[in-house]
């Protein structure tokens, strides 16, 4: 077998189409219960990386046919010792050495950029989050260490318990005196942009990271606007709810649910964060239930919401499960120190 890895020219239409086919097939095989990879999301990401990243792409060829895709992300603002890795081999061509060749190619890129760590994720359909898939075995064989286990939980909206949501919200609101709920869709209103940028920057420091070495982003409104534009270009849009502290007018809690224009039946529950000085008022429950009602009022075809939590994040898991989310799959983050 002849295996060759070559850089991917993002201006090459045929090559990028093949990269999309490989990535989409790999995702469909490894996560068959989630929507297919959006073409808009994939190609927008090729044209413009996430703000602050420098991306390198490659294709892996087996006997002259492209069957593997690689993306290496090199953060340019923080995490200057890290590199992110996406590696996909078409399911029909696995276990033939293409993945190893792509990983070795990625290692050369990362070392050439002076980075010390490679961080990547492996999805599985095991809700216990145990590293049991061929992808996990591959990561271990490449010398990576399991650094963080996440569990994907799913809310089946066709079985939503509205009475229980009413009860949860009413109970939480008894602890939330002095706060008001605010909602928005899409870009953050200017009056809350500084607070949302701050809350977003806290996610890395507040959420469990296990053994993953990752530095939090600086809280900048400019960066927030760049990220919002990047989501828009990828066909992604969010419904948001927050808690405003009445005495100061500051937004002190925020949650978002993200959708993609290519799929009207599925969404992801994204960030939920409460500023530490305002915890203990059940604001997390208040804004999550409110935002669920917010999105349901506008997305009549929505049937499923997924969310990821670190297996050790007992507090957020307790809120999600009280709302009706149930474990369906896992996600393991692997980290290699070069």
pLDDT value for 213: 96
Residues 235-245 pLDDT 10s:
999 999 999 99
Report the DSSP pairing between strands 304-310 and 145-156. Answer: antiparallel
> What's the mean pLDDT in 143-148?
96
- pLDDT at position 291 over 80: yes
Q: For position 128, what pLDDT does the model report?
A: 82
What's the whole-number mean pLDDT along residues 263-284? 97
- Structure confidence at residue 204 as a pLDDT band (50, 70, 90): confident
Each as own residue / partner, the long-range contacts of residues 156-163 (CB below 8 Å, 24 or more positions apart, any chain) are 156/303, 156/304, 156/324, 156/326, 157/296, 157/302, 157/303, 157/304, 157/305, 158/303, 159/324, 160/324, 161/324
Residue 4, judged by CB atoms within 10 A of its CB (0-12, 13-18, 19+), counts as middle
CA–CA separation, 20 vs 15, rounded Å?
A: 9
pLDDT of 225 above 90: yes
Kind of pairing between the strands at 251-260 and 65-75:
unpaired
Whether 126 has a pLDDT exceeding 90, the answer reads no
How many Å apart are CA 204 and CA 271, to the nearest integer? 11
pLDDT at 129: 65
Token pair for 317 = 């898991």
Predicted local confidence at residue 96, as pLDDT: 96
How far apart, in whole angstroms, are the C-alpha atoms of residue 320 and residue 328?
A: 13
pLDDT top residue among 203 and 118: 118
Distance between CA atoms of residues 216 and 232, nearest Å: 23
Could you give the C-alpha distances from 62 to 30, 95, 96, 318, in angstroms and in order? 21, 12, 9, 47
What's this model's pTM, rounded to 2 decimal places? 0.96
Residues 6+ apart with CB under 8 A from 336: 117, 118, 119, 142, 143, 144, 145
Q: How many other CB atoms are there within 10 angstroms of residue 285's CB atom?
A: 22
The residue-averaged pLDDT of 186-207 equals 94
Mean per-residue pLDDT, 53-81: 98
Looking at residue 227, what is its pLDDT? 97
Average pLDDT over residues 316-327: 96
d(CA 25, CA 166): 41
- Structural domains of the chain in order of their starting residue, each with its CATH number: 3-115 (3.40.630.30), 154-328 (3.40.630.30)
Average pLDDT rounded to a whole number, residues 131-146: 93
pLDDT for residue 198 = 97
pLDDT at residue 130 in the model? 73
How confident is the model over 176-194, as a mean pLDDT?
98
Q: Which stretches within 142-188 are classed as H helix?
A: 162-173
Residue 147 DSSP SS3:
strand
- The beta strand positions in the chain, using DSSP E, are 3-7, 53-62, 65-75, 82-89, 117-124, 145-156, 179-185, 236-245, 251-260, 263-274, 304-310, 326-337
Is residue 131's pLDDT more than 80? no
| Contact assessment for residue 222 and residue 51, using Cβ atoms and an 8 Å cutoff | no
């Amino acid at each position: 077998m002849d295996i060759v890895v070559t850089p991917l020219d993002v201006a090459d239409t045929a090559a990028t189409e093949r990269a999309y086919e490989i990535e989409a097939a790999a995702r469909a095989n490894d996560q068959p219960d989630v929507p297919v990879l959006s073409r808009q999301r994939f190609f927008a990401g090729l044209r413009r990386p996430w703000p602050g990243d420098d991306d390198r792409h490659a294709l892996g060829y087996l006997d002259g046919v492209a069957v593997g895709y690689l993306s290496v992300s090199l953060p340019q603002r923080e995490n200057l010792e890290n590199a992110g890795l996406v590696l996909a081999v078409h399911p029909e061509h696995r276990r033939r050495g293409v993945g190893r060749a792509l990983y070795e190619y990625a290692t050369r890129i990362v070392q050439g950029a002076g980075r010390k760590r490679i961080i990547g994720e492996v999805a599985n359909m095991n809700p216990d989050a145990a590293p049991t898939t061929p992808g996990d075995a591959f990561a271990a064989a490449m010398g990576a260490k399991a650094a963080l286990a996440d569990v994907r939980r799913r809310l089946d909206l066709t079985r939503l318990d509205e009475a229980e949501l009413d009860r949860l919200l009413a109970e939480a609101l008894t602890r939330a005196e002095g706060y008001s709920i605010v909602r928005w869709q899409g870009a953050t209103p200017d009056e809350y942009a500084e607070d949302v940028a701050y809350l977003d920057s806290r996610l890395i420091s507040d959420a469990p990271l296990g053994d993953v070495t990752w530095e939090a982003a600086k809280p900048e409104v400019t960066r927030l606007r760049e990220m919002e534009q990047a989501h828009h270009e990828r066909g992604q849009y969010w419904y948001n709810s927050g808690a405003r502290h009445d005495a100061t007018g500051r937004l002190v809690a925020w949650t978002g649910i993200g959708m993609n224009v290519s799929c009207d039946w599925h969404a992801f529950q994204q960030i939920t964060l409460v500023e530490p000085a305002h915890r203990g008022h059940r604001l997390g429950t208040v804004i999550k239930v409110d935002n669920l009602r917010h999105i349901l009022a506008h997305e009549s075809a929505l049937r499923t919401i997924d969310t990821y939590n670190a297996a050790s994040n007992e507090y957020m898991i307790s809120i999600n499960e009280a709302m009706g989310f149930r474990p369906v799959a896992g996600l393991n983050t692997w980290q290699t120190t070069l």
